Chains A and B, each alone.
Chain A
C-alpha cells in the first residue's frame, strides 16, 4: 500500500516563529488532508488539498502531486497551535481507504 512519511516527528517553537511541516507519499493520490489534533484529542480539519495551494489565516498548504509531497506552513505560531499535525492520503486507483502519517508533534512555548 501507499506509504506516508511526515517530518519532522517533533518540533518545538517559540511563539511567533514560522514552521514548515512536510508530508511525503509513495504513490499518486486522489485526496490529501491535513488535520490538527489539539491537546484535548479533537481532530480538526485544516485543508483538503490533493493539489495546489490553499491558505487559511496564518496557515497555508501546498501539495505538489507530481513530486509526491505536501507542505503545511504555520506562520507567527501561537501556543494554541500546539498539538499533533497529521497528513492523510487516499491512493489513486485504489480502494478509497485513507492512510495516515505518524504525525508531527508541535509544541509552541510562550
Chain B
C-alpha cells in the first residue's frame, strides 16, 4: 500500500546543530508539505513543494529549508537548531492542487 513515512520519529538535539528530518511518500504525489504543531498554535505551514525542483515558503519558514530532487522525498533541514524549534513536525502530500492531503506519522523534535 502507498504511504507516507517520516524519520526519525523522535530526535533530541542541541542548540546550533544542523538537523534534517526525512519525509518519503510512495503515492507519486506532486505536492508535498511540511507543518509544525505546537500547543496553542495548531498546525502551521513551514514549506511546500508542487513538484521536483519547486519549493516555496510557508507561514513559519525562518530557520528552515527544503529541497526537492525527486517526487518521493522532501527533507526538512534546520540550519542551526533553536529551542523555539522544539515541536512536532508533520509531512503531508496531495495528488492535486487543493486536493485531499495525507499526513505522515510525525517527528517529535526536542532542541536542548
- Which residue numbers of A lie inside 8 Å of B, CB to CB? 30-31, 33, 35, 41-43, 45, 48, 86, 88, 90, 96-98, 100-103
Q: Are A98 and B97 in contact (CB under 8 A)?
A: no
B43 contacts A by Cβ under 8 Å: yes
The interface residues of chain B lying within 8 Å CB-to-CB of A35 are 103
The interface residues of chain A lying within 8 Å CB-to-CB of B99 are 31, 48
Q: Mark B7-36, 1 if CB is under 8 A from A, else 0.
A: 000000000000000000000000101000
Q: Are A97 and B58 in contact (CB under 8 A)?
A: yes
Q: Determine which residue in B43, B44, B98, B108 has the highest number of CB atoms from chain A within 10 A of its CB, and name it.
A: B98
Knowing A33-B100, A33-B101, A43-B103 are in contact, say whether A101-B42 is a contact too (CB < 8 A): yes
List B73-112 residues whose CB lies under 8 Å from chain A. Answer: 88, 90, 97-103, 105-106, 108
Write the chain A residue with the least CB distance to B100.
A48
Q: Are B106 and A41 in contact (CB under 8 A)?
A: yes
Alpha-carbon gap, A93 to B48, bound state (A):
18
Q: Are B42 and A103 in contact (CB under 8 A)?
A: yes
Alpha-carbon gap, A90 to B45, bound state (A):
13
> Which one, B101, B102, B106, contacts A98 given CB within 8 A?
B101
Alpha-carbon gap, A48 to B36, bound state (A):
22
> Which one, B44, B88, B100, contacts A41 given CB within 8 A?
B88
The interface residues of chain A lying within 8 Å CB-to-CB of B106 are 41-43
In the assembled complex, the CB of A45 is this many whole angstroms from the nearest CB of chain B, namely 6
In the assembled complex, the CB of B21 is this many whole angstroms from the nearest CB of chain A, namely 15
> Which one, B42, B88, B102, contacts A86 given CB within 8 A?
B42
Alpha-carbon gap, A30 to B94, bound state (A):
14
In the assembled complex, the CB of A92 is this many whole angstroms from the nearest CB of chain B, namely 9
Write the chain B residue with the least CB distance to A91.
B98
The interface residues of chain B lying within 8 Å CB-to-CB of A43 are 90, 103, 106
